[in-house]
Structure 1
């Protein structure tokens, strides 16, 4: 049984930390007065307000970035420049899919539109949101929008600038779910290759939805206020006080909270106020207001954002503190010093050693510092760690060795060591992609041994295997370093020649291969000659597909073998020969038909020349 084990020490330590944390927290809460709590609440509200303002700015910037992405797409220019304002069907439909994707991924987007400069600002692409999802407006539903500021003002901008509209209630007709909602519009010009503006991209944002998303992680007791640069409430806990300018009865923030006048007069950028000091406008609450730029030089110049929290919630903790907490703190303060010393000596040093060993798992010098001789749990852990390290290292070494072996076996022929069909096809597909990119050619040579079957039958498979190994070595000797040779199986080999030289050097390489394979072999004291027939297919002349190149080379090889062994033939020559043969057959048929027709005419003339009875 372990003495003074880590479990005992850790239990005492955790108990002490818990008591100490509770006592320290209670002591601090007791000593802190009501003013300090209010000040902390003010700073917290101020930080939250600034963060919320930054989130609004970042969200607007994200929407602006989306608009810029859409405006700079080539298909946007194509659609906007089309005379009918609708654009080519393919470009319009692809762009419409992009708009639909943006709407699906941004629930706060109420509308997305591409509006052309032509035809009085005709909408070319338009997506609306309604209760059932997305609605794409087409045909007669597309409207002319040149009379709206977000169109004619944006058209006057240089490419890359963003138009930001004032926040207002959407009263445009036919806007589905957007109608009647507080809306913010962002637009940016679409420019052609010469820099001329040919249209605009406009995104309508649901202000309420965006704020709900941004407020989702705020405490539930926070109240949010938002006003435009004139002081009109855009967001208020009492919805009847918002957008008063839209209903003919304006409700201003500076009237409800006079302290915010200096924000609208731009004398200050932030204001804090609380009901603890007796301010009537903040009775029972703590409030923080900040002024933030909005929309650059377009639309509203700034907004004023405010957060409020009930004063009762702020002071609830202070009302529960008492003198007993002070006595508890004094008693446990003495114990905390002693326990801290025990903790540092009993646990910190061995844990540091274990951590160092863990971060230097395969370093031998790190293992020498492990507390292997300790009799408590740390000693057991150190010894287990050392055994585990050794096992992991041994298994990793074995795994790496097996993995390398399996990778090689999976991609190479066991007998000859050449790449197999799978690896060759991968290399061929990569070579085709590279040749297509560089606009170069390549060639595939299908090599079939002519006399290998007789060697196998006469001398046996053991000699045949040795012959294949010798053939593989000769093929590698006659090829360039950049060329690839592989064994497909049996007595079939395949060669890949890449680069701009492929078309020119392929016949010479085929001749070298035939010469090398026609040389006499000596295996186990037996002399023999193998020979080979070769078929050649070329990229891109014969095919642009790896499988087809291989099949065409195979077809050319069989044609070369049937025409006389120990020969090579290009696939293009095979096709030409077939065409010549077909042409000759057509000529023979035509001559036969002509002869039949001549004979028929001669017979007819003979009958007409006979005397009548």
Structure 2
């Protein structure tokens, strides 16, 4: 049986892939575009809803601030103290002018009232709004309002707190233009200097007028929904569904849109829903709802605000794109068939895999692309290439291991394992560059063992080598991990110390090194003490180059050794000692010259 050749297989495979890919891409592009448009519409609606809610809450807060301003005016407390309802002083008239000014500058205010605690909540100052403008109610037209919640609840508040009433339709008799309108009342206590509540300030707000002003800049195709904390519609595209509680037939948002129930349970603050993914809950619409508290921190008043946009308007661009995608899929399907035939002849896919593996010879992920399970010539070639790669990699691993060993032997002392002179000088030069940039110092400690020659002569080179290894271990133990210790050769060691306060720390470290090297060593049953002399040179005080720092530390070490073993000296101390010797020598020469001159002058006299 003749098996299909590679060209035929690839032709069929690539043709099918091309047709499926073009169709799937077109379908995905269409669905993705629809989803993207809906998501953008949701985001836009949510942003607009949050902004509208913020504006509403800010407007309510502004009204509360106005109420506080009026309540804290001294004249408000003075007027509220009067025992009767008759204007007995000019202060009431001046206060009335202030109230009238607030009504003029805030067209959404339907009423502003000062109500006393006495006389069953008698209105002392009252301004209403009617079709002709602002009306002041006086005399016998002033009413007792003590039976209303917005009066007796506010009287129970402490000064400075704001009472927010439920949003309702105003049915109070004689309220002028406010009668029959959706109204929100804000109240705050009026108190004297002792904090005694004397009355309340109540401001009635035209809720419909406020919302109309707040939503004036929304797009024309947006629909607005607004409910109170119980879910009663206050604003609805269908006016017949608003204020149902006032007509004995309640229409609730959570019944019309079940997805909004978490908003009223206060378990969520915002809800998004669209008719594309949830057609039963948002038929033909994209909706965004937010819960927004208002009236400050008093009580639990909140509104639920929603915006909606027709889904058809949102998806209008997707329908045009869908028609274009269908035409493009047909064209690309034909092109994919022709390209599949050409690609099959070139056998590009397996060759690309081999080329990628060849250019990433030692990358394990590149080997996963090799077609090792193929039964044709490409598979044989891939398996041969994989075996060759493994052999080359094994040889390279051996070479790298040997190379690392050679590098370590070239830069470290074979006996102690410490860095040798070459590696130490590289580290010292690098440390000098870093210290120069950071404007810090460093110190070099030259350590020379005092009694190593006697130990080596007495016990032999084998014991001497063990002593050097033990000294290296002790130096590592006494130094910090950031410090560098190296062996220069013989019984000479060198230490590099870095840090911002290295000048103060270097003598202490040298002292610890001397103490640890003065402790007895036990080698093959023999107890011995090595001891050391140490010279210290510092950057930048003693030198700015690595070689000079090493030479200066060496010179300080020899000075310490000549002054008595088991000691340490700084190079600055050596320079000061030399300077003193020069000064003393100069003094002696000068004194000798003066004595000689005196002796020569005596016979002449």
Task: Give the TM interval when normalised to the shorter protein.
Answer: 0.3 to 0.5
Greater radius of gyration (CA): 2
TM-score, length-normalised on structure 2? 0.48
Q: What is the TM-score of this pair, normalised by structure 1? A: 0.47
